[in-house]
């Protein structure tokens, strides 16, 4: 069932949900009409938005586990009820003239719908697009960024034609319908599913390893989680700060007219949304840490230059550039989390991370106002942001060096069974090609001790090398799926080599915890077609089968066990 | 892995010594492709000092052969030891490469092919 779904339709469903909930950013369109109709204070009405964002953060942080447990379809359905009822409820609040009901409906219920609706499809997308994590989640989060751009004119039109109360009812029903229908298509792929053409390795369907994937509770005990959180927090805080000064600064310092400044603010939304998809797609190619380093390096430059320019075009260019980084900071986060902690509990970890957004949503405006008061100038706000970007840049560089810790007790380092017992010896190696020399030394020493002739030793070496290369390339494929430059984010998996002697044979076990794969199931190599398929798929396995006297494969409690048997 | 270069007439002889495995092949491949990129078209790989080859070494040979194909160049392998010969045979590569027992023979054939005295469609017998 699950694997018959089209993953691009899944992506479309995710975009549908994000286009709905992203309309929260169009709240400002509601503010003046509400004040006019109800007589509530402007600040009180604006406060609804802050409640919604606060509950977005809270629900994302606390309901991530719910999303993991009940899956994206149920979570999305739940979100559509919360969000739809929240918005429609705002209409009732207006009709009955209760501002607390407005806070409860749009702020709390809507905010919960926002939080759950935000994380539910994203974690599913990451699982469907191991090869294009950034692009896929960028698409959805771009939907969030563009939502207000689409919703604002529609809302303005609706308020004029059907009135404020009915606008809320209509919007609630429409967003509920879009979110509910989109949610019904959401489902995670079957375990072990890989996109077509991505099965570069001979990967058979089977269980995917779950070891080394961090749970949310483990993730929050790592340093890198807090670094990620801080990077997002700084990026959002400074982004909000610059948005808050952009319009007045454009008018007072650059000399733009109010109309030009308003047009510029509209374009900000465009670059915020566009930056989300562009940076996220780019991150698939250059790696997530590099993208964040770019964000902070670019913004340090732009924030430095912004107060120095008096040219309207340069000013807007810099501002738009900053906005792409602001949006990109959001859209690259889910894929980054997938890279750092695996996809097992991505929704929960993503939810925790989004508290940085909620915190920045509160801190950003306060920070901007405080700096403004202290320094009395717009450039003061920008300089203060500049200071904050420096540690963020440093973090984006440091995060590359973090190991993926803490790990569950993955294989014991060296476990040598005394030779007198059964002449069996085993050792654990990291699953990376640079370990090959150590493997060869280990194998050769034992083959020599077993009294194998030099010619057979070379054959043993060959068979073992091919098996090891296979493990390094394919067994932990999900790890390598991180990006196209194979940036080493975290420690590779490991494998165990066990050697022993029988009366007439020398035997080697290679044990890995990677994707289930039986090399003996691979079709025999056709030498005729070798030159047409320059990647020479299956050549290593072909060599193993030809050179070893016997090859056996077993899948034992989630582990691949390949046994190579050489006659003495 | 040690790589020696020698030019004999129009033929470039490259001696590879040691092991051609997953660890050493990438740098050796870069070296060889660089030589092809410099315009060398007649390549003889002297394997007399090569003790070991694995599939990554075989991939390298295919890559070099493919890049030589583009420039109408030729690749010959010479002086294979038992192990290297066995691996090339069981991989089914004997029909793809010209293989000679000694470097001298490989060079002689390469030069005569060059002059068009002999068709290169039939590679000589495997070592």
- Which CATH code of 3.30.750.24, 3.40.50.720, 3.40.50.1000, 1.10.10.60 fits the domain covering B2-114? 3.30.750.24
pLDDT in tens, chain A (568 residues): 445 688 889 999 999 999 999 988 888 788 888 888 888 888 788 888 888 888 998 999 899 888 888 989 999 999 999 999 999 999 999 999 999 999 999 999 999 999 999 999 988 888 888 888 889 889 989 998 888 888 888 888 898 899 899 999 999 999 999 999 999 999 888 776 777 655 433 333 333 333 357 888 888 888 889 999 999 999 998 888 887 778 778 888 888 887 787 778 778 888 989 999 999 999 988 889 999 999 999 999 999 998 888 888 999 999 999 999 999 999 999 999 988 888 878 889 999 999 998 888 777 777 777 877 787 777 788 888 888 999 999 998 888 876 544 444 344 444 443 443 346 888 888 888 788 889 999 999 989 888 889 889 999 999 999 999 888 877 665 443 333 333 334 445 788 999 988 888 899 999 987 777 777 777 776 666 666 666 677 788 888 988 999 998 888 877 888 999 998 8
Q: Is some CB atom of chain A closer than 8 A to the CB atom of B23?
A: yes
Opening angle at CA A304, ends A302 and A308, nearest 5: 100
Q: pLDDT (tens digit, 9 = 90+) per residue, B57-101?
A: 998 998 898 888 888 888 999 999 999 999 999 888 888 888 999
Strand partners, B12: B7, B43
Q: Is A370 helix (H, G, I), strand (E, B) or coil?
A: helix
Name the residue in chain B with its Cα closest to that of A541.
B55
- Give the tokens for residue A355: 């508290």
- Set of chain B residues whose Cβ sits within 8 Å of the Cβ of A540: 54-55
Q: Is some CB atom of chain A closer than 8 A to the CB atom of B104?
A: no
* CATH class held by domain A414-567: alpha beta
Q: Residue A527: its pLDDT value, please?
A: 62
What percent of chain B has pLDDT above 70? 88
Q: Residue A490: its pLDDT value, please?
A: 43
ipTM above 0.90, yes or no: no
Dmax over CA atoms of chain B, in Å, equals 40
Smallest CA–CA distance, residue A535 to chain B, in Å, is 8
Assigned superfamily of A210-408 = MFS general substrate transporter like domains (1.20.1250.20)
Contact B106, B44 (CB under 8 A): yes
Smallest CA–CA distance, residue B65 to chain A, in Å, is 10
A197: left (phi over 0), alpha (psi -120 to 50) or beta: left
Opening angle at CA A23, ends A17 and A27, nearest 5: 155
Q: Decide whether A1-208 matches A414-567 in CATH topology.
A: no
* CATH class held by domain A1-208: mainly alpha
Tell me the domain boundaries of chain A. Answer: 1-208, 210-408, 414-567
Which residue in the block uniquely carries the two structure tokens 């390094």?
A472
The enclosing H or E element of A333 equals helix A333-341
CA gap B91, A299 in Å, rounded: 54
Tell me the domain boundaries of chain B. Answer: 2-114
pTM over 0.80: no
Smallest CA–CA distance, residue B125 to chain A, in Å, is 17
Q: Residue A117: its pLDDT value, please?
A: 94
Q: Residue A411: its pLDDT value, please?
A: 42
Which residue in the set A458, A469, A525 is minimally distant from B22, CB to CB? Answer: A469
Q: Residue B122: its pLDDT value, please?
A: 47
Whether B22 has a pLDDT exceeding 80, the answer reads: yes
Which residue in the block uniquely carries the two structure tokens 């792929």?
A189
């Amino acid at each position: 069932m699950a694997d018959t779904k089209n993953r691009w339709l899944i992506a479309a469903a995710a975009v549908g949900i994000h286009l709905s909930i992203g309309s929260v950013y169009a709240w400002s369109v509601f503010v003046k009409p509400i004040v006019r109709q109800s007589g509530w204070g402007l600040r009180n009405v604006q406060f609804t938005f802050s409640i919604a964002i606060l509950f977005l953060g809270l629900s994302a942080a606390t309901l991530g586990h719910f999303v993991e447990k009940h899956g994206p379809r149920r979570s999305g359905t739940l979100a559509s009820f919360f969000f739809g009822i929240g918005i429609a409820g705002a209409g009732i609040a207006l009709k009955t003239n209760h501002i607390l009901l407005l806070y409860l409906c749009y702020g709390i219920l809507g905010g919960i719908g926002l939080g759950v609706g935000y994380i539910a499809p994203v974690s599913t997308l990451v699982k469907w697009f191991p090869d294009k994590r950034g692009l896929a989640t960028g698409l959805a989060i771009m939907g969030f960024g563009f939502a207000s751009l689409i919703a604002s004119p529609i809302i303005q039109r609706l308020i004029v034609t059907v009135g404020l109360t009915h606008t809320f009812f209509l919007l609630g029903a429409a967003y509920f319908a879009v979110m509910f229908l989109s949610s019904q298509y959401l489902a995670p792929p079957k375990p072990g599913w890989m996109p077509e053409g991505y099965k570069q390795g001979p990967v058979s369907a089977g269980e995917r390893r779950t070891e080394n994937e961090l749970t949310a509770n483990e993730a929050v005990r790592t340093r890198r989680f807090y670094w990620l959180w801080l990077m997002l927090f700084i990026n959002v805080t400074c982004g909000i700060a610059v948005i808050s000064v952009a319009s007045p600064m454009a008018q007072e310092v650059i000399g733009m007219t109010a109309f030009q400044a308003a047009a510029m603010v509209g374009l900000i939304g465009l670059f915020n949304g566009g930056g989300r998809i562009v940076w996220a797609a780019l991150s698939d190619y250059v790696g997530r840490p590099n993208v964040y380093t770019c964000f902070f390096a670019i913004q340090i430059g732009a924030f430095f230059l912004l107060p120095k320019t008096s040219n309207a075009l340069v000013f807007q260019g810099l501002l738009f550039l900053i906005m792409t980084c602001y949006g990109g900071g959001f859209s690259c986060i889910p894929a980054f989390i997938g890279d750092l902690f695996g996809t097992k509990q991505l929704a929960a970890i993503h939810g925790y991370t989004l508290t940085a957004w909620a915190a920045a949503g509160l801190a950003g405006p306060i920070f901007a106002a405080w700096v403004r008061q202290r320094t009395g100038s717009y450039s003061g706000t920008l300089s203060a942001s500049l200071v904050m970007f420096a540690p963020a840049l440093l973090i984006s560089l440091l995060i590359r060096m973090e190991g993926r810790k803490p790990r569950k007790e993955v294989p014991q380092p060296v476990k040598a069974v005394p030779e007198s017992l059964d002449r069996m010896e085993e050792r654990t190696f990291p699953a990376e090609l640079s370990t090959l020399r150590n493997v060869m030394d280990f194998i050769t020493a034992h083959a020599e001790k077993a009294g194998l002739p030099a010619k057979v030793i070379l054959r043993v070496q060959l068979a073992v090398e091919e098996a090891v290369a296979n493990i390094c390339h394919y067994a932990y494929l999900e790890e390598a799926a991180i990006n196209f430059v194979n940036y080493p984010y975290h420690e590779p998996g490991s494998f165990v080599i066990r050697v022993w002697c029988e009366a007439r044979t020398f035997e080697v076990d290679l044990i890995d915890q990677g994707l289930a794969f039986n090399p003996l199931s691979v079709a025999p190599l056709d030498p005729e077609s070798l030159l047409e398929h320059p990647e020479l798929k299956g050549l290593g396995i072909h060599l193993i089968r030809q050179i070893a006297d016997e090859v056996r494969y077993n899948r034992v409690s989630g582990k691949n066990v390949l046994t190579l048997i050489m006659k003495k | 892995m040690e790589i020696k270069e020698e030019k004999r007439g129009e033929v470039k002889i490259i001696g590879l010594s040691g092991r051609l495995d997953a660890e050493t092949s990438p740098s050796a491949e870069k070296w060889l492709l660089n030589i092809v990129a410099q315009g060398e078209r007649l390549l003889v790989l002297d394997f007399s000092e090569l003790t070991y080859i694995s599939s990554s070494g075989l991939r390298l040979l295919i890559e070099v052969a493919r890049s030589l194909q583009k420039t109408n160049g030729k690749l010959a392998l010479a002086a294979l030891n038992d192990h290297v010969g066995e691996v090339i045979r069981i991989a089914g590569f004997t029909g793809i490469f010209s293989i000679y027992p000694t470097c001298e023979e490989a060079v002689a054939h390469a030069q005569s092919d060059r002059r068009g005295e002999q068709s290169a469609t039939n590679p000589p017998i495997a070592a």
